[in-house]
Structure 1
Amino acid sequence: MNKVLKITLQSDLCAGSGFAYAGVIDSDISYNKNGIPYISGRRIKGCMREAAELIGVKDSDRLFGKWGSRDMRGIVIGNAYPEQYRDVSGAVDELRRSQDERMSYLTPENILEYFTSVRAQTGMKEGVAEDNSLRFTRVVGQYDRSSGNALVFCAPVFFPDADAATEEKLQKAAKATRHIGLHRNRGLGNVKMELVDCDVEGDINGEADSAAQKDTVGTAGKKKIRYYVTNVEPLLLSSEQDDVTDSYIGGGRVRGALAGEYLKRTGCSDQDEEFTKLFLQEGTIFSNLTLVSEKERQPLYPAPLYLCKLKKTKDIVNIAVKAPEIEDEKKDYGNLPKKMKGVCAAESNGVWLMQEPQTEILYHHRRQGDTKLYFLEALSEGQTFCGEIIVDAGLSALTVDLLKKARLRFGKSRSAQYGGCRLVGEPVVEDSTGMEKKSCRKGTRVLVTLQSDGAFTDGEGNYTVEYRKVRALIAAEFNKMAGKRVLQEDDHLYGILQAGIAAGYNTKWNLQKPQFPVVRAGSAFGFVLGADLEEYPPYIGEHQLDGRGKITVFDLDSAQYFVDSKNRTLENESGREKIANREEEQLPSCLLPIYRHIVLKKLYEKLEYGALSNECSLNIHPSALGRLTLMLGESVNESQGDGQAAVRTFQKLADRVASVKSKSTREEMQRFLGEILGTDSCKDSGEMAFIGQISKKMLEMGGKTGKDCREAFGEEGEQIIFGLWPRYLQSVLNYQKYCMKQGEE
């Protein structure tokens, strides 16, 4: 069953994230990296379960799963985002990649403000506000600012092998769910939920975007299938620390997902010959899915341990190479190299591409009466990963089909909120010789570097992480596959090893998998070439089926101490040249209302600042100032609902000012309004020239923001900007009132 859970807001909503910002926000909502709010799948699933139990729906454990069960059962619910979320988020990401100058407005903070507002509340004691009880809560507004309609969130829903009775129970549970989130008994979180048919099948199944498949000619030997996936939900990928995520999707996870799809489709057992050959026998390799560089679209791997960053100057250096000599008086003994923990890197044409995976902290609490929060670190959504699968040529078409049809969900808590991934483009299939190309002459010093964790066993079958033993095993296996003695060990060459523990969890049996020691990715082993090197094996060691032991050969003789790098996350991006093709590229229609709202708000902030710094003074009695303020308020109220409200307001205000009996007061008011608004039409509102004059005045005060606002609204820009004048004038009058009070004191 593939459905969409449609959630329509019937009041403001605070789907809390657990975060707070001291003195600003005490209870914050959940939102993604672009500032778009969402309702977590876990929260939706929990609320639906409570509603189902409340109305007496049976088999709640079957419908929603049970904590500690052997396998993943029940409904799978993704995070709920506003309609057109994917289009909006994709457009913002594209503008960010192109460094469009409009991104100065489309910041996460501004986009978040478009959807939300902040409420303040205090505790009451005997009818009086209690001391130190003021709290601020950010809420998602009930209505869309652009259309005025109720905001609708949509969450993908999947239930394997659901029959009509199951679907009916889920529909009842959805309709019975009336409240979500914080302060449900104080008017927040009132929603209407319903299950509707899924219009976009590929978005739910994670199927590939339409593209022509690329396949090289040939059916014999091995095929290498390269593919890309994007995580549409955060990822919780277990590591040695249970609450910290890995930065990659392990090859074993990919193998498990495709194996499950194969068994579900064919109905065969795991004893099937084709299944055994594809998923259980050595020779097939499912590599890790690793991060892809944003611009070059090149796979990145855990940074080699010999790449470090200098503590003070922040330069990237290769400590396997001797540092250049520096005069004693110029040495900075505190500028020491430090490991680049968590950075992913890859060399391309002598330049190192570097990038850090984006992570976030997410808070949860348990249902069984435990009110304490616990947190998890997850990989943020919207990141792209690349992997490869090496299979027999006869199984390549089947493997590609499994990739396109399998439900790609990885990691923990993948039945709600986490784990969802989507195939990007079409897998690329090419012939594989089982060797990687690399040309180095005899006598060259090289570093064999692990790009994924490696497992190595000695002659007695015991796992080892001892440097000399691992180095000898690499040389022996390398030379055996090359057919000649290529690698020669040399104790004088640089080498570095970091050990770890490979662990896992078998969800079928609810047990941990056997643990064994591994050599961590980034470890490097120094060798001297005893013969010319033309190619080398891409994987070495045990458990290659799950992508362990991927290696690369680095030429140490041609390396420099200071590394030429392009670091997407460590370097300062403020000095980058921005690209602006604003006249050539229009904003997508889904993003335009958000952009217009933000630009208009920024223009008003500029005008408000101008009101506070305005040196024009109003020389009338304070009572006359109060009367002028009242005239403005009455003119605004009488013109509401009129399509030409701003014009009518100005005309009514001009008429009211003209009716003031005191000549000196009347003329001073008209002079002041003309100077503030930049028009001489305050005496005769019948002339419509004041529209252009006032708009021009406010554009001048807005500066670049005013120009951006006019361009954003096009032909309507002048009228939209003109409509701000009542609020601007109100700010000016308030400031005049403040100045008069200060003068009296």
Structure 2
Amino acid sequence: MNCELRITLKSDMCSASGDGFSLSIDTDVSYDSHGLPVIPSRRLKGCMLESAKYIGAQNIGGIFGVSGTSRGSLRIGNAVPEGYASLCTEAENSGKNAQQILALFTSVKASTAIEDDTAKNESLRFMRAVNHYSPFDGSEMVFTAPIEIEDKYFDELSRICRAVRNIGYKRTRGFGAVRCELLRSGQSSVSTISGKITDDEATYELRYSVRNESALMLPGSNSSETDDYISGTSIMGFFANQYLKNHSDDSDFEEMFLRHGVIFSNLYITSPEGTAALPAPAAIAKDKTQSAEHGTVYENLLTVGENHVRILKPLKSGYFAAGSEIKVQTETVYHHSTGDDSTLYTQTCICPGQVFSGTVTGKGKYLRNIAEALSGCVVTVGRSKTAQYAECSVLYAELRPLELKQISVSGGERTAAVFCSDALFTDDCGSYTTDFAEVCGQLGIKNADTDKSFMKYKTVMGYMSAGNYKKPHIRAIAAGSTICFTAESVCTLPEYAYFGAKNGEGFGMVCFVKADELMKLGESVSASGKVNAATDGRLTELLKKNDTTEEMRSSAIDYALSNRSALVGLSSSFVGRVLLMIRQAGAFNDLIKRIDSVKTEAKKKKAHDIAMTAEKYKYNEDWREYLETVFLLGKYFLRTADRKEEE
């Protein structure tokens, strides 16, 4: 069932990110790309587990799972400020950077260690914390987090949530006091799949796009760094798990997921314009002789002349679509594990808010089950599926009969076979091979041009979570490899086809394209990563107010600096008297009356002239801060002048 965890702050809180800024902030809070503070869900899950043990909960294993053995029923997302979708839209349209937005919700705290009843040397530290009260209306800040839990555990989890009293850094020093409550929610993820299946035995294709709502950790060759695509293996595992929730381990399951009767392609990054990218072909290169002011220029190495004098650097990674390179955005996330083996570690993840597109291909009767599993669910892939990571929402899904597109090639025309995914090939003995001649033979290529072919290799590995063991390492042809060949006669070639082993997991996808059309790779999809939620204008109004306040402060400082001599002409006692008037005055006109009551004419005139410069702010409280700033600077100028006289 879907629930909502509601967290109300009872003090300032620092959900530390592990990061900081030298000389200004030693410990920073966690926040998103817009600058809105968040409480990472793994932090929440850890606090909830701690509280569950403290109150003696009976079903800790069923709710939270057992490490290395079984996954728990609980799935929790990051906690975000109430009205988060609206705030994100306003922040994105505001033109402000993340630090400017974050400053609205946070403040910086200083602390020292004590030694011999005094501050210890070199112990001053600065920590940024989320303010107890909301900047919008002054009420206590409220964060909400989505939760999925089985019905039978709801009451027990509700008690556990109520037992969580403190979250975050320095929670034993007055920070992070919270009140948590678990509420039932009627909301559910809804995804509409267009198209329908009319023939169970015909081959259909499900084209779909997902947006990662949280960071994705898709471990590849390095366990602490993510891959930059969602593999077909991960997608197949997700659908297999969804299928088993409503069906038994029947013959259809075996055919779809064990015998590769259904092909799950990799999901690759989609450009903001809605073009699904493919791994960058190694036959495309950057022109390094072009200056930066002309932008990046790409060249097709299959058609470029041999006598060129330019410096061309082949693309080694990334993705390519419609003539431009696309990079997947990543970030480094800090984590701290507790217990006997406590340690601080980092991992590189895919930033949230990016769109990935791919396909599922198979018979109609199988695709019907896949569509059923996809409809109305959240797609979870990668590491840490129960907290903080792995959550993707379906933006677009369309079922349609598979259309086998082909290209016509003339005799003697140069053509390229581009590997759109990693490929595994076996020889006659059943062993995996990367031999160029063997690969060409299985692709049906006879006249390969080795000088114009660009091959890349990698080692494919993985982990089988169901059996809790590592998969064997296999040498493979890497995505982006390009084999150039010349057609012997007029023929037709499939635009896309699968070759080699493990096609059901997305391996072996090859695109045939004419050599001079290599730069046109990519296909438009009906998906966009931009979210336009309804807004209430709270953040926009607050930002405008802050801009006005900053403008007022700058005006006060400029006035004080340009009229320094006039301020120095006043005595310190009189400046202090005027400051008291400013603080006690009920309104601007009341302040003018108080100043006019001063008996010394010269002092009264100077104070009156300075006060009248704040007349434009008299209809709000900004006049008070403006004049306080001016006279406080005047007090500072007087002290500086007195020191100079003493010297």
TM-score of the two chains, using structure 2 as the length reference: 0.90
For 1:529, the equivalent position in structure 2 comes to 487
* Structure 1 portions without partners, runs of 5+: 96-101, 477-486, 566-585, 640-647, 678-689, 696-717
Instruction: Give the C-alpha shift of residue 64 in structure 1.
Output: 1.3
CA distance in 2, matches of 1:321, 1:189: 62
Cα distance in 2 for partners of 1:55, 1:492 equals 69
Q: 1:501, 1:517 within 8 Å by CA — same for their partners in 2?
A: yes
State yes or no: 1:589 paired with 2:535: yes
Q: Give the whole-Å Cα distance in 2 for the aligned partners of 1:552 and 1:27.
A: 49
Q: Rate the CA distance shift 1:229–1:656 in 2: closer, same or farther, 3 A.
A: same
Residue 550 of structure 1 is matched in structure 2 by 509
| TM-aligned CA distance change 1:62 to 1:439, over 3 Å | same
Counterparts of 1:526 and 1:336, CA distance in 2: 18
State the partner residue of 2:304. Answer: 322
Q: What is the identity, as a one-letter code, of the residue corresponding to 2:506?
A: G
Whether contact under 8 Å (2:243, 2:369) holds in the other structure is no
| Alpha-carbon distance in structure 2 between the residues aligned to 1:324 and 1:636 | 80
Kindly report which structure 2 residues correspond to 1:60-75, keeping only aligned pairs within 5 A, or say none.
60-69=60-69, 71-75=70-74
In the alignment, what sits opposite 1:277? 255
Q: Which secondary structure state, in structure 2, belongs to the residue aligned with residue 118 of structure 1?
A: strand
Q: Which residue of 2 aligns with 1:538?
A: 497
Specify which structure has the higher proportion of strand: 2
Moved more, 4-13 or 363-372: 363-372
1:736 is the counterpart of 2:634 = yes
For residues 141-179 of structure 1, give each alpha carbon's deviation from its aligned partner in whole angstroms, at most 9, with x where no partner exists: 11111122211111122224x41xx32221221111101
Question: Alpha carbons of 1:241 and 1:311: their partners in 2 closer, same or farther (altered >3 Å)?
Answer: farther
| Residue equivalent to 1:505 | 463
Structure 2 distance, partners of 1:430, 1:192, is: 50
Cα 1:200–1:558 change in 2 (3 A) is closer
**1:661 counterpart SS class:** coil
Larger mean Cα displacement after TM superposition, 456-465 or 655-664: 456-465
The CA deviation string for residues 430-469 of structure 1, in whole angstroms up to 9 with x for no partner, is: 1114x33334433221221111111111222211112332
Alignment equivalent of 1:183, drawn from 170, 173, 178: 170
1:442/1:323 CA distance change after superposition, 3 Å: closer
- The 8 Å contact of residues 122 and 134 in structure 1, kept in 2 or not, is answered as yes
SS at match of 2:172: helix
Q: Map 1:236-275 to 2 at 5 A.
A: 236-266=217-247, 268-269=248-249, 272-275=250-253
Is the Cα contact below 8 Å between 2:106 and 2:131 reproduced in 1?
yes
- How many residues align? The count is 626
Partner of 1:11: 11
Q: Call closer, same or farther: CA 1:655–1:385 in 2, change over 3 Å.
A: same
Amino acid at match of 1:375: T
Rounded to whole Å, the distance in 1 between the matches of 2:215 and 2:602 is 68
Alignment partner, residue 27 of structure 1: 27
Residue aligned with 2:71, SS: coil
- Write out per-residue CA displacement over residues 45-68 of structure 1, whole angstroms, 9 at most, x where no aligned residue: 111111111122234233211222
1:109 CA drift (Å): 1.4
1:338-390 deviation per Cα after TM superposition (whole angstroms, max 9, x unaligned): 6453x22123xxxx132211111111122223342011111111111111111
Structure 2 residue identity aligned to 1:547? G
What is the aligned partner in structure 1 of residue 606 from structure 2? Answer: 668
- Which residue pairs with 1:80 in the alignment? 79
From the superposition, tell whether residues 513 and 192 of structure 1 become closer, same or farther in structure 2 (CA, over 3 Å).
same
Residue identity matched to 1:546: E
Distance 1:621 1:740, change over 3 A: closer
Cα 1:254/1:62, change in 2 over 3 Å: same
Contact 2:89 2:533 in 1 (8 A): no
- Kindly tell me: are residues 384 and 273 of structure 1, through their superposed partners in 2, closer, same or farther at Cα, counting changes over 3 Å? same
Q: Please provide the CA RMSD for this pair.
A: 2.7
Moved more, 229-238 or 439-448: 439-448
In the aligned structure 2, how far is the partner of 1:607 from the partner of 1:213? 55
* Deviation readout 1:390-415 (Å, 9 max, x if unpaired): 12123333321211144421111112
Partners in 1 of 2:546 and 2:307 — Cα distance? 56
The sequence identity of aligned pairs, in percent, is 27
Contact persistence 1:456–1:541 (CA under 8 A): yes
- Match for 1:199: what amino acid? G
Distance 2:264 2:220 in 1: 19
Report the CA distance shift for 1:259/1:326 in structure 2 as closer, same or farther (over 3 A): closer
- Following TM superposition, by how much is the alpha carbon of 1:608 offset from its aligned partner in structure 2, in angstroms? 2.6
What letter corresponds to residue 623 of structure 2 in structure 1?
W
Instruction: Identify the residue that residue 299 of structure 1 maps to in structure 2.
Output: 276
Deviations 1:260-305 (CA, angstroms, capped at 9, x unpaired): 2222112x12xx122233333344211111111112x121122122
Distance 1:407 1:419, change over 3 A: same
Q: Give the match for residue 157 of structure 2.
A: 170
Q: Is this contact kept in 2: 1:448–1:552, CA < 8 A?
A: yes
Matched, 1:337 2:313: yes
Stretch deviating more after TM superposition (398-407 or 316-325): 316-325
What are the equivalent positions in structure 2 for 1:562-641 lying under 5 Å apart?
588-590=534-536, 592-614=537-559, 615-617=562-564, 619=566, 624=571, 626-639=573-586
Aligned equivalent of 2:135, options 129, 145, 153: 145
